[in-house]
Amino acid sequence: MSAEIIYGSELAKTIRQEMKEEVKTLRQNGIVPKLVVVLIGDDPASKSYVAGKQKAADFIGIESELIALPSQTTQAELLALIDQLNHNEEVNGILVQLPLPDQINEQSVIEAIHPDKDVDGFHPINIGKMLTQQKTFLPCTPYGILTMLKSKNIELKGKHAVIIGRSHIVGKPVGQLLLNEDATVTYCHSKTKDIETFISMADILIVAVGRAHFVKGDHIKPGAVVIDVGVNRIADGSLTGDVLFDEVKEKAAYLTPVPKGVGPMTITMLMKNTIQAAREAAK
């Protein structure tokens, strides 16, 4: 068996094209979605993520503004900026690129963004809405993963989904979204004993650990759906996932690659949330 590869890059292209049409119509009706991205410091990875977000916004027709601040920016300065953006009616989405420098408390920043402009879906109010299955901004990476699974009509109901990783931005929310889809969910993390047993039980395996080739082929249940969220730079300078692709592809039914897998979908769902924010604001 050789897995069908789910290219997030291809799906992202299709969805971005659809959104481009949608934004064209919105603009004709006087609605111009606008995203403000705040970047603090000059971390090369953060700069590259931000550039990817701006490129996607430009393509779709979402107005995007980058506010780049020096790495010495204080928490008070950042909170004052967020307050200003919260009150600016032209701004629909506010994204503060993480991680932040040590002098700034990440959670305070997340909580300062108005929930109606929290297009990352990290605000506790929006997380609470996700848990209680109310309409909200879903966190972009989990939302992207769910969209990839649905694009292949993969049955989730009653399936055993095993999530490796329990971060607030990926592991925990993706498990919750799968639970909302009637999957039975198991979370694994660094303290989980005998993790390979759990991996081998997974109908749907989501790996978000951040360790190159953490999951090998012999762990996988034949026919499993494997979503590789990890992005790891290895010795030769290339990017690779948390899954040993060549081995796992021989056992899985579906597998996502790295790159061209989950990453492009994360950015796409950010755009989707920004359009949703603009629509809600116009009501």
Q: Which is nearer to ligand NAP, 136 or 141 (CB)?
A: 141
User: Of 161, 59, 46, 150, which is closest to residue 96 (Cα–Cα)?
Assistant: 46
Question: In this structure, what are the phi and psi dihedrals at residue 211, rounded to the nearest 5 degrees?
Answer: -130, 125
- Which residue in 37, 110, 170, 174 binds ligand NAP (CB under 6 A)? 170
Active site residue 120: yes
Tell me which stretch binds ligand NAP (CB under 6 A): 87-95, 126-134, 224-232, 271-279: 224-232
Which has the closest alpha carbon to 205: 153, 231, 242? 242
Which lies closer to ligand NAP via its Cβ, residue 81 or residue 161?
Answer: 161
The answer to whether 231 contacts ligand NAP (rule: CB under 6 A) is yes
Please say whether the beta carbons of 147 and 11 come within 8 A.
Answer: yes
230 touches ligand NAP (CB under 6 A): yes
Least Å distance, CB 108 to ligand NAP, is 19
Pick one of 141, 176, 240, 274: the residue that binds ligand NAP (CB under 6 A).
141
Q: Does 167 bind ligand NAP (CB under 6 A)?
A: yes
Answer yes or no: are the C-beta atoms of 257 and 2 closer than 8 Å: no
- How many binding residues for ligand NAP (CB under 6 A)? 25
Identified catalytic residue from 116, 118, 120, 242 = 120
Query: Residues 53 to 112: which contact ligand NAP by CB under 6 A?
Result: none
Work out the burial of residue 107: count CB atoms within 10 Å of its CB; fewer than 13 is exposed, 13-18 middle, 19 or more buried: exposed
Q: Give the C-alpha separation, 90 to 152, whole Å.
A: 37
Angle, CA of 53, 69 and 45, to the nearest 5°: 45
Tell me whether strands 93-96 and 239-240 are parallel, antiparallel or unpaired. Answer: unpaired
Of residues 176 through 205, those in contact with ligand NAP by CB under 6 A are 188-192, 195
Subset of residues 262 to 281 that bind ligand NAP, contact rule: CB under 6 A: 262-263, 266
Q: What is the layout of strands, in order, in the sheet containing 204-207?
A: 4-5, 254-255, 225-228, 204-207, 160-164, 184-188
Q: Which residues are catalytic?
A: 53, 97, 120
- Write out the residues near ligand NAP by the rule CB under 6 A: 141, 164-167, 169-171, 188-192, 195, 208-211, 229-232, 262-263, 266
